[in-house]
Structure 1
Amino acid sequence: MLIHPWDAAREDAEWQQWLAVHDFGQLAVNGPPGEPPFVQPLHFAYDPERGEAVTHLARPNPLWGALETNPDVLLSVVDDYAYVPGPWQADPGVPSEHGVPTSFYAAVQLRCRAHLVDDPAEKAALLDRQVGHFQPEGGSARVTVGEEPYGRMLSGIRGVRLEVTGVRAKFKYAGKRTTQVQDRIAGRLADRDGPGDAAAREHLLRRQRA
């Protein structure tokens, strides 16, 4: 992923706060020689204090052999994207039809070392962490080995701890454009109000203020 200086995260808190609420991504795992990578969509819970993300997958999932062979993986998350028509980006004094269209988006890529979790008690603790992230208000029973309702299901899954070894974060929101052009784009996004436009506009204005 190419990251220009004007698109880079300003500080770790920027991407960490974004990742806390964008917790669905794709796990890319190196495939066997001559084969493409495995790419697995999944929910995960990222813990900045531990420097890891946790998730789980069904035991029949075909990527386990590849993970055991090479545990170095990439967890990729992309969201808050919007298409920006060329005329919106035209510089002052330039014909609007000469503006260059682009895409706005936020993206975080976590390079990780995967640790597989098969011990039943450790899997139960991992699941409690994941459910606690997605359901902080509670409402579900705790996962306890050998007890209903989830204990008997533990054998059907494997847990994954993703130890983060590197981070690449990008917030592509007209960072190299003049304030005048940024304000125009923000106004057009508000007027269009399509899917993703409000989130993209907020990123643009937040980074402009910073």
Structure 2
Amino acid sequence: MYIPKHFAESRPEVLHRLIREHPLGMLVTHGGDGLDANHLPFDLDSNVGPHGLLRGHVARSNPLWHSVESGANVLVVFRAEEAYISPNWYPSKHEAHKQVPTWNYSVVHVHGRITIHDDEKHVRGVVARLTRVHEGSRSVPWKMTDAPPDYIDALLKAIVGIEVEITRLEGKFKLSQNRETRDRVGAGEALIASGKVALGKDMLRMESPDDP
């Protein structure tokens, strides 16, 4: 990934936070049939290894787990909110008219090695953890035990577990850090007003070249 210096983000805690807040990753693999991409929810365990571990699962009918061997190198892409940026949002545009449109976004690229787990006990643990993470904040969280055991058992047999041992993390947070503070703030406030609240607030928190 091309990352200009002013858009680079390397702090592990920041990259991990984006993954946790936007857990639907695009898993890119290269198997016998060439490149493939699957969009899967992942659970991040930052306490495993130097960079962390991703856990997830795929349908047994998905050819992914046959086409890629355990130990193969893979890429997982996680993306936060993104949006078009209009030059009209920059105060400086109305003075010199030397601005053009762009697109702002934050992404994390996870490089790692995949492991396939065709094991019901492992898969049950993955599903239970994903459920706890995403149901935990609800007033009445759904639990696996809410469904009949034989129903859950049948569904677990229809999926296969995957893990990605993270070997390297890359972060690109393109949030107008290369703009004057007034232009970054103007664009950020315009995004918030248009409903892109998370991206706008991220821009307002960033530093520009003229910030102290």
Q: Which amino acid aligns with 2:142?
A: G
The residue number in structure 2 matching 1:58 is 59
Task: Check 1:13–1:70 CA distance in 2 against 1; reply closer, same or farther (3 A cut).
Answer: closer
Q: Which moved more, 1:148-157 or 1:158-167?
A: 148-157
The residue number in structure 2 matching 1:139 is 142
Give the one of 144, 147, 157 matched to 2:159. 157
- The Cα shift of 1:29 comes to 0.6
Secondary structure of 1:80 counterpart? coil
- TM-score, normalisation: structure 1: 0.85
- The Cα shift of 1:110 comes to 0.6
Q: Which moved more, 1:114-123 or 1:37-46?
A: 114-123
The residue number in structure 2 matching 1:73 is 74
- TM-score, normalisation: structure 2: 0.84
User: Partners in 2 of 1:204 and 1:23 — Cα distance?
Assistant: 21
Structure 1 residue 207 corresponds to structure 2 residue 206: yes
Q: Which amino acid aligns with 1:27?
A: L
- The Cα shift of 1:70 comes to 6.4
The residue number in structure 2 matching 1:169 is 171
Secondary structure of 1:37 counterpart? strand
Task: Check 1:119–1:201 CA distance in 2 against 1; reply closer, same or farther (3 A cut).
Answer: same
The residue number in structure 2 matching 1:49 is 47
Gapped regions of structure 1 (runs ≥ 5):
none
User: Partners in 1 of 2:105 and 2:170 — Cα distance?
Assistant: 14
Q: Which amino acid aligns with 2:183?
A: V
The residue number in structure 2 matching 1:178 is 180
- The Cα shift of 1:62 comes to 1.7
Task: Check 1:152–1:65 CA distance in 2 against 1; reply closer, same or farther (3 A cut).
Answer: closer
State, as a whole percentage, how many aligned pairs show the same letter: 24
CA contact (8 A) 1:89 1:101 kept: no
The residue number in structure 2 matching 1:124 is 124
* RMSD between superposed Cα atoms in Å: 2.6
Q: Which moved more, 1:147-156 or 1:176-185?
A: 147-156
CA contact (8 A) 1:117 1:160 kept: yes
CA contact (8 A) 1:29 1:67 kept: yes
CA contact (8 A) 2:91 2:186 kept: no
